[in-house]
Chains A and B, each alone.
Chain A
Amino acid sequence: MSPDPFPLGPHPHPLGAPLVRREGREKVTGTARYAAEHTPPGCAYGWPVPATVARGRITAVETDEALALPGVCAVLTHENAPRLAATDDPTLSVLQEDRVPHRGWYVALAVADSLEAARAAAEAVRVTYETGEHDVGLSADHPRLYEPETANGGYPGTRERGDFEGAFAAAPVTVDATYTVPPLHNHPMEPHASTARWTDGHLTVHDSSQGSTRVCEDLAALFKLDKDEVTVVSEHVGGGFGSKGTPRPQAVLAAMAARHIGRPVKVSLPRREMPAVVGHRAPTVQRVRLGARDDGVITALSHEIATHTSTVKEFVEQAAVPARIMYTSPNSRTVHRVVPLDVPSPSWMRAPGEAPGMYALESAVDELAVLLDIDPVELRMRNEPDTEPDSDRPFSSRHLVDCLREGAERFGWLPRDPRPAVRRQGDLLLGTGVAAATYPVLIVGSDAEAHADADGSYRIRVNATDIGTGARTVLVQIAAAALNVPEDRIRIEIGSSDLPPAFLAGGSAGTGSWGWVVHKACTQLVARLREHHGPLPAEGLTVAADTRKETAEQSPYSRHSFGATFAEVQVDTATGEVRVRRMLGVYAAGRILNSRTARSQFIGGMTMGLGMALMEGSGLDPAFGDFAECDLASYHVPACADVPLIEAYWLDEEDPHLNPMGSKGIGEIGIVGTAAAIGNAVRHATGVRLRDLPLTPDKVLRHL
């Protein structure tokens, strides 16, 4: 269904305006309260106990010593914790059985009157295990790798078109390279936290979540309640980056403990324990093969990835999916293989699939450009497809070439000497690199209410979540345009499962999904007001809308954002340290609805991509089976001094095949392509092609 045309609203037009975030003042004054910052009277504190073996069974839990400590209320274990109903997400079945599927899996929860007492009690719990052999090592030839039916996002695990092997064998120019991306951790600044209380059978949880509708549904199912017996509030959320997209164990633990002791309970996950229980980006070993003609046009493209999942659930990082839409490729094979290991369950991390997959693909395209001595911007332009290669569907809009062209101009890409290792400043070697970016458009049906008050003000209610995107602000902008009233006459309520249910803040789908239903409710309210004669009743007028029907239909178009990232790096030949000097991205992501907050999101994504390129990497210790780099001292994320000038620009892209606003979603595309642009710049600087992220000094120096 083609969406309604979108009104621009009162002058000055609210859509696209750089409005300041509505909750900004609360955030800079410290009055914005996050999940762990609600302390009901009588609140107790829960501190989890993680398993210290990688695979096995609990044979005994000794809690006497812990319970004897002052201020300790209870220790929950699989022997005494409330029984939960079965759930679709087995990572939420905490304290239900003696099995330990991976190191760090929670085996107990100490509950006490204070944080200090709870922590001491957790340390005093003695757990003994019967252990089994564990395996946490991913390799591309692991004997238990299999091809899954689908990868994350519901994409087919394997796709083949034409005759890849034949075309690759016949190609005059070929690239065959393998790239690895280690496990990566989301590490939002706010640890996952929940404060739970039961009042006359009603469960209320303040949860740090990207979508409290889903948390409410899952808690209701687990505790055998009706959804209206559960309220989950996520008013302010300190980042998520995918790790708060689904409910996490702390919400279940807090609710269980609160029921068990008959008091409110707060559980905030210790930073070092997060990697084991809130998901991670699974490592990938990615083999890319490109066959091309002498003019650079790709005739054969294969992207095969090997990755891991846990023994708890299957999650397959869909890293081979972007190769299905990016370039001309008449003969193509894209394959995922996965092996269940004794590791924590992987999950979503910013641009799952695209971030690691485009690192490999865009590095391989750069390798092809070097082989052919064709400028990498030009090479990408020569491989621009007319339709989506995998499905042959037309693109709803595709402005990759424009992004590359405008980016090259703004960055000062040309003139560029393609020779490597010839730009030297003292000990430093300098280079530039480029990569393309893409991310799919996802829109999910949601509910919203629009209300007109008798005093001329308006109220929007929708269970959107603001994880730092500026959701409140941009939804009011959409409402202001649809209602044709100034934005300061509109109030908005988000962040509670008691509001009309809506999709989570994830998959770059929030604004498109929420905005569409807000627009629909406002449009219907305007129609109702037009029909209404005389003053409004004292209670005002309310209209409820949902977009399930509109969003259920599959679009006949292939819908994606595109972008181009340019980076300049310096490589210190004495230390092997790589530093980004400047970075510039240009994106085509439909209509940009708030230029201030959008720019921040693009830059934020690029910054996380810089981390992925240069410093972020975790590893599974083969002996102990846990993540060796589990805290912020060992898992390095970019700090202020690592991040130089970063600029983000966008095209004024009009796309009538999306939603009424014409927006595509911008939360993830900034990270896509960035690691490849930096890696390609390192190759240009040094002549060395490194294919194993992150590009830390130890890896770089040995080649200089």
Chain B
Amino acid sequence: MESTHQPADAGGSRSVSDQCSELVLYVNGKPHTLTLDHRATVLDVLREDLGLTGAKKGCDHGQCGACTVLVDGRRANSCLLLAVAQDGRRITTVEGLAEGERLHPLQEAFLERDALQCGYCTPGQICSAVGVLAEAADGFPSHVTPPGTGSGAPVELTDDEIRERMSGNLCRCGAYPRIVEAVGDVSARAGAASWTSGGPAGQGVAS
């Protein structure tokens, strides 16, 4: 039952019993050495073991996106990740986005645009949006990216691009139009900044 994933910067998970292994997760920049049940997901470890309840459990099946976090800077459904397979990974949750009292621009934009109601999908939406900005900056195309767009060139985040890329995060309250506006606001500002600073990739992601 030993984990087969052994990144260079960690010692590899160590089986301490048939049921559990010891591993290290870097969460919001902080290392946590944990002895975890092999069945535990990253989501449940965050919520139940580390007390980081920002990542939400909406479906536990990768269908709703409420559990979205960033793993090594890319977004992922943490309910689908077995923690034992993530030894040595850097995980950023919504709790890791603000710098002290200063909110991440996406958090500010969600507040400003009222891009939330019940708030349960909101941390996942925001983490997902952080991922979207980075993916677009890195030239990842989406289903609606026009064919012929230069390979690897930054993708302009039009409203259609934002809608498409944010569709893995369900919101039952129906905040979508406001979410698109909020992501668009930050994208426009980041885009403007990127002309001078070389792009918004990985913006706000603790690493």
Contacts and interface: CB of A to CB of B under 8 A. Distances in A.
Q: Are A and B physically bound partners?
A: yes
Interface of A: 20-21, 23-34, 36-37, 39, 70, 114-117, 119-120, 187-191, 236-239, 241, 268, 270-272, 467-470, 596-597, 599-601, 603-608, 631-633, 637-643, 645-646
Contact of B175 (A26, A39, A115, A600): A600
B40 interface: yes
B174 interface: yes
A242 to B, nearest CB: 12
B118 A190 contact: yes
Top 7 nearest A-B pairs by Cβ distance?
A30-B54, A238-B120, A607-B174, A468-B118, A27-B119, A604-B174, A468-B117
Nearest to B54: A30
Contacts of A117: 37
A555 B39 CA distance: 59
B193 interface: no
B164 A641 contact: yes
A238 B56 contact: yes
Most chain A beta-carbon neighbours within 10 Å: one of B123, B162, B166? B123
Interface residues of B, number: 59
A116 B98 CA distance: 31
Interface of B: 19, 37, 39-40, 44, 47-48, 51-61, 63-64, 66, 93-95, 97-98, 103, 107, 110-112, 114, 116-123, 126, 162-164, 166-180
B176 to A, nearest CB: 4
B48 A633 contact: no
A564 to B, nearest CB: 19
B172 A637 contact: yes
A606 B97 CA distance: 32
Given A28-B123, A29-B98, 5 more contacts: A28-B122, A189-B121, A190-B58, A236-B119, A643-B174
A239 B120 contact: yes
B51 to A, nearest CB: 7
A637 B52 CA distance: 28
Contact of A29 (B103, B171, B176): B103
Contact of B57 (A119, A268, A631, A645): A268
Given A28-B107, A637-B170, A271 B176 contact: no
Contacts of B63: 271, 631-633
Contacts of B40: 114-116
Contact of B107 (A29, A632, A643): A29
B205 to A, nearest CB: 15
B176 A632 contact: no
Contacts of A31: 54, 95
Contact of A640 (B19, B59, B169): B169
17 contacts: A28-B103, A28-B122, A116-B44, A189-B173, A236-B119, A238-B121, A271-B60, A271-B63, A468-B118, A600-B173, A600-B174, A603-B177, A632-B61, A639-B168, A640-B180, A641-B167, A643-B176
B111 A271 contact: no
A116 B61 contact: no
Contacts of B119: 23-24, 26-28, 32, 236, 238, 468
B116 A24 contact: yes
Given A23-B119, A632-B64, A191 B57 contact: yes
A608 B118 contact: no
A637 B171 CA distance: 9
Contact of A189 (B103, B112, B171): B171
A187 B167 contact: no
Contacts of B48: 39, 114-115
A119 B41 CA distance: 13
B123 A30 contact: yes
